[in-house]
Amino acid sequence: MVDITEKFNYFAVKMLDATYRDFINTDVEYQELDCYLDNNKHRFETIINSLMRKIGSL
């Protein structure tokens, strides 16, 4: 029974480790995307405003 418990604990630790690494990578990707969007906000606003004007003229 101890052998099964040890194997399960090892499995659980590996799963938590992988999940934590995935979370960290996702957080880094989110921060990069947030920074990109913030740095290019004026471009996106220009595009959105242009599209809104085109929709309004239909």
Question: 6-57, pLDDT tens digit by residue?
Answer: 999 999 999 999 999 999 999 999 999 999 999 999 999 999 999 999 998 8
Domain ranges of the chain: 2-56
Please give the Cα distance from 53 to 58 (Å, whole number): 9
- pTM given for the model: 0.57
Please give the Cα distance from 12 to 32 (Å, whole number): 30
Residues 6+ apart with CB under 8 A from 44: 37
Residues 6+ apart with CB under 8 A from 55: none
CA angle 29, 36, 56 (to 5 degrees): 120
